[in-house]
């Protein structure tokens, strides 16, 4: 405010307690702790404990149950086959003679058969395919859980970032609003031009708008967490995320990434199935079966009746049997070679992605250190200007407002830098969730 009672145009010192509170309460690990908790705090670890409620994971679990039923179905179809038949009708021999028989009869038949060679291999291959699918579904479930954890951690981090930024913006608005009367007096006394006064008011309006924007972004992050977890989450006070530890060595990160790579696990499961099929597919082009059967004949209107027991082996094979066998073996060998080539490429890609995620994390760490240094400089600069303002308020007022604005922007940048570092950490955890596990342990 202006001291007009003595005809002096100097600005009296504003409430120094208010000025010193603004922008100086913050930074580092406990940056801008809320002055009053409007909602209960909820750490990230508790939200991670709710990940099992995700509808996406539930769908994956149902797929696993389906695969288990399919295995039982294929296993039940293995081995011995039972055949039954009941014939009833009129029998007349085509070739006629004085002994030509013409009769009506009922003929039931019961038989057992067991597949050999290719037929048996097809049964085993069908069961192995179902078992492989169960393994693939389990791998997909684990991968989906990791991806959801990564998304949840990122959205929680954003929610925390916007919460801190909204509190900081609120403090900035309070500071500008507290200085608005003084700015108006400067304009009235002709010490500020209309554009300078308008710029100050625009800054205050922009700060209020930014505060509302941060609140809206909080709601977006919260709604995204609703979707990830498949359950409603009430508004809560976030705590700075405490992510699992990372051991930042290339060897540890690569080993952890290979242990948890869904692509490598998929290729391994498919390769094992191919190798299994290659072992059992000898004679795959031969459809052979061992069979036993009993039939009973009862002629109507006569006392002729009896049974017949049969047994034997039936074989069906193509004329080019040997060529078909060689082609089948070559097909499986080629499939194994393709699988191993894809496995080698997947490992190279995984090493590249892990190294890139590691570098992104290091860049985020470096950027945060620079931002912290800049924020410290801005705070120190603001402190010096405040000291000058205490002594000579009028000429320092505009510079003080500029320093407050710069300190606010530096504080926002530090919050964002911390958030980026946490998100890059989460990205690396997605690839290497247990990099601190001892070598050889899975």
E-strand spans in 259-346?
287-299, 305-316
Mean pLDDT value across the chain: 83
pLDDT recorded at residue 388: 65
Residue 389 has pLDDT above 90, yes or no: no
User: Sign (positive/negative) of CA torsion 247, 250, 255, 257?
Assistant: positive
Mean pLDDT of 336-358: 95
CB neighbour burial string for 180-213, b if at least 16 within 10 angstroms, e if fewer: eebbbbbbeeebbeeeebeebeebbeebbebbee
Closest CA to 408 of 32, 29, 157: 32
For residue 311, how many other CB atoms are within 10 A of its CB?
A: 11
Instruction: Give the lowest-confidence range in 159-163, 172-176, 253-257, 390-394.
Output: 390-394
Q: Residues 76-123: pLDDT tens digits?
A: 988 888 888 888 887 777 776 666 677 788 888 899 999 888 888 888
- Complete DSSP assignment for 173-198: HHHHHHHHHHHHHHHHTTSS-HHHHH
Q: Give the separation between CA 326 and CA 332, rounded to whole angstroms.
A: 10
- pLDDT in the model for residue 349: 95
pLDDT > 90 in the chain, percent = 49
- Residue 66: CB partners within 8 Å, gap ≥ 6? none
Phi, psi of 31 (to 5 degrees): -60, 125
pTM value is: 0.79
From the list 131, 122, 62, 67, the residue with the least C-alpha distance to 270 is 131
Helix extents (H) in 230-320: 250-260, 262-280
Q: Which residues lie below 8 Å from residue 341, measured CB to CB, with a gap of 6+? A: none
Considering only residues 438 and 165, tell me which one the structure prediction assigns the higher pLDDT.
165
Query: Per-residue pLDDT tens for 271-306?
Result: 999 999 988 877 778 888 888 999 988 877 777 788
Average pLDDT over residues 377-386: 78
């Amino acid at each position: 405010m202006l001291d007009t009672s003595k005809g002096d145009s100097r600005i009296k010192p504003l409430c120094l307690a208010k000025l010193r509170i603004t922008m100086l309460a913050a930074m580092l690990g406990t940056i801008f702790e809320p002055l009053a908790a409007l909602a209960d705090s909820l750490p990230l670890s508790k939200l991670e404990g709710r990940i099992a409620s995700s509808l996406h994971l539930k769908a994956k679990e149902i797929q696993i149950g389906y695969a288990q039923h399919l295995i039982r179905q294929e296993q039940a179809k293995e081995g011995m086959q039972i055949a039954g038949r009941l014939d009833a009708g009129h029998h007349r021999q085509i070739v006629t003679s004085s002994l030509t028989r013409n009769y009506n009869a009922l003929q039931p038949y019961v038989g057992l058969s067991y597949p050999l060679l290719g037929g048996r291999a097809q049964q085993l291959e069908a069961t192995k395919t179902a078992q492989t699918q169960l393994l693939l579904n389990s791998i997909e479930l684990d991968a989906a859980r990791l991806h959801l954890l990564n998304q949840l951690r990122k959205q929680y981090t954003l929610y925390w970032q916007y919460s801190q930024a909204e509190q900081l913006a609120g403090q900035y608005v309070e500071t500008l609003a507290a200085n608005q009367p003084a700015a108006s007096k400067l304009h009235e006394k002709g010490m500020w031009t209309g554009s300078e006064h308008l710029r100050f008011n625009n800054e205050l309006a922009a700060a209020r708008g930014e505060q509302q924007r941060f609140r809206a972004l909080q709601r977006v992050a919260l709604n995204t967490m609703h979707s990830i977890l498949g359950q409603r989450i009430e508004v809560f006070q976030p705590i700075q995320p405490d992510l699992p530890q990372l051991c930042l060595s290339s060897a540890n990160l690569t080993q952890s990434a290979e242990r948890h790579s869904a692509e490598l696990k998929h290729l391994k499961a498919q390769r094992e199935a191919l190798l299994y099929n290659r072992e059992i597919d000898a004679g795959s082009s031969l459809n052979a079966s061992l069979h036993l059967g009993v039939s009973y004949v009862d002629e109507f209107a006569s006392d002729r009746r009896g049974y017949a027991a049969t047994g034997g082996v039936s074989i069906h094979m193509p004329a080019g049997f040997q060529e078909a066998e060689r082609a089948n073996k070559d097909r499986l060998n080629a499939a194994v070679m393709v699988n191993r080539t894809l496995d080698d490429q997947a490992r190279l890609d995984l090493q590249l992605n892990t190294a890139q995620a590691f570098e992104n994390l290091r860049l985020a760490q470096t950027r945060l250190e620079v931002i912290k240094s800049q924020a410290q400089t801005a705070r120190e600069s603001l402190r010096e200007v405040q000291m000058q303002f205490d002594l000579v308020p009028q000429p320092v007022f505009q510079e003080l407002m500029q320093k407050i604005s710069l300190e606010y922007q530096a504080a926002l940048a530090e919050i964002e830098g911390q958030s980026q570092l946490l998100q890059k950490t989460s990205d690396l955890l997605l690839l290497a969730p247990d990099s601190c596990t001892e070598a050889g342990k899975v």
